[in-house]
Amino acid sequence: MPALNDKVFLPISIFVLNIILAVFSFILLCAVGAAFAIYSKYGGEYANSVRWTWNAGYLEMIKTTVGSSKSAKIPRSAKIALVVGLFVTVGASFLDKGIARYVNPASRPGSDSTRIVVISPQLASNTIRKKFAGWSFVVQKDGNITATMEKALSSSLAIPEARSDRSYTPVISNYTIKCAYFKLTFEAKAITEDGCAKEYNTDLTSKIFADTSDELLLAMNESFKTKTIPPSNRSVELWVELRAKNSSVDILACTYDTYQLNDNPLVRNVECAYHTINAFVMTQPFNPEIKKAAKLPGKYQSGTFMVLDHVPTTNGKNHAPISLSKLRNDTAAVSDYMARLGTNAHMNYTEGKFYGQYDMYDVQSGLEIPLWVLIVSGFILIVSLILWQLTNWIVDSSHTSSLYKIMAMRMGYHTDTPVLLRAKLEPFELEGVGLIPSEGIQGADSMNKA
């Protein structure tokens, strides 16, 4: 079930959205007018004046509100109705602008796709840990690690000639579990040699994984504390701690760089990788399109490598501890995604080339709006339509028409749509019929000027 904060994609343009919002605002104001019509029928002697003032617009409502506030004979209910009507009308007029603030341009892949193979040149690093330059991506604290990987594989690093009007999705395949349970046997071997153990003075667990009692991390920490650091001219060693239970294997592997100081090798940098293997999978047949494009031999085993950096959040000068449970979950998610990616991606570090198979879609442009905004807007629209139509049924036209139409109706010129009539102000006449004596008009003008 979608959450209320989820985004809904609408395949429409900004122009169409403006038309929809204009209609929405029109219906909303009609509903406000319907509410005034009901009030004019049941609100007392001053209710019609309130509705006529609303028909005259904002400026007239403000002036009438200020003028009525000084009159003691006007009932308080009529004054409150005028003020409430003013604020409701302003709110209804600007509600469509508020909705528009939650709408953002968006795009999504179309329904039809074309499967392609991308070959892109890469700059491979000439180090022990093979990787392509730039292929290091940051995973935020609450970020989705598989989404980060898919975005990386679909970025311009992997597809330099990607078109902005196309969407590229890496092809993934199902994998088969070879066995649900297994027996793991290994023997412990001495990691160090030559001389006494050297004390390692940095507590890894308190520096990186705060307040943790995970046995793998504690064991690795003890290994760094008690083992002798080899001379810098030797190959860098990889230390591994394993934990096996049923069909799951947890692996913590660490390596380090050293530098020489007064003939004593010291640790300069420690890098660790945490792996979780939930099950062993069967070897997948190599993707024939990738194999053909890369000109690989008949039997070939491929490996895909990517660096994902977990960045801890900071609070001032302190770093928040990395969540071990999230690290485990992310490791499991990465393992699953890489297994499904399988041989649909191939990295040739010798030639510096990346091969990947993608589903290419034409991008469909549109707009994105939160689900809760769509629901609230739809509810307001339905209520406004019901109120508007219900008022037309239960309230006669004398309470829904303008003052001009009411006068025309009283003079016998009633039509469904008011027609234009000849009018004069001095004296005040409509179709030659005097409505208010000229003395009354002059008296009213002199009062307004005073």
High-pLDDT (> 70) share of the chain, %: 68
Give the type of residue at 203.
D
For residue 342, pLDDT beyond 60: yes
pLDDT of residue 260: 60
- Identify the pLDDT of residue 117: 93
Specify the pLDDT at position 123.
85
Q: Which residue has the higher pLDDT, 383 or 152?
A: 383
Measure the CA–CA gap between 136 and 144, rounded to whole angstroms: 16
In the block, residue with structure tokens 């102000």: 425
The structure's pTM equals 0.53
pLDDT score of 437: 63
From CA 251, how far away is CA 273, in angstroms rounded? 8
Beta bridge partners of 266: 259
| Weakest mean pLDDT among 93-97, 220-224, 321-325 | 321-325
User: Computed from CA positions of residues 410, 412, 418, 419, in that sequence, does the dihedral angle turn out positive or negative?
Assistant: negative
List the one residue out of 342, 324, 181, 327 whose CA is nearest residue 249.
Answer: 181
- For residue 1, give both structure tokens: 């079930």
Q: What is the pLDDT of residue 444?
A: 47
Q: List pLDDT tens digits, range 399-434.
A: 888 777 777 777 765 555 567 777 777 777 777 777
State percent of the chain over pLDDT 90: 17
- Per-residue pLDDT, 231: 54
Lowest-confidence region among 81-90, 224-233, 441-450: 441-450
Q: What is the pLDDT of residues 348-375, one digit of tens each?
A: 888 888 999 999 998 888 999 999 999 9
**pLDDT given for residue 137 in this prediction:** 72
Contact call for residues 109 and 364 (beta carbons, < 8 A): yes
Q: Tell me, what amino acid is at 301?
A: Q
CA 28 and chain centroid, separation: 29
* Whole-number Å distance between alpha carbons of 272 and 362: 41
Read off φ and ψ for residue 193, nearest 5 degrees: -155, 175
pLDDT tens-digit readout, 168-211: 999 998 877 766 555 444 333 333 333 333 334 444 444 444 44
For position 227, what pLDDT does the model report? 58
Best CA proximity match to 345, nearest among 358, 356, 353: 356
Report the range of poorest mean pLDDT among 75-79, 320-324, 333-337.
320-324
From 15-19, 45-49, 155-159, 220-224, the region with the lowest mean pLDDT:
220-224
Q: Residue range 154-167: average pLDDT?
A: 86
pLDDT, average across residues 311-337:
70
Average pLDDT, the chain: 76
CA–CA dist 52, 65 (Å, integer) = 13
Q: What is the pLDDT of residue 258?
A: 63
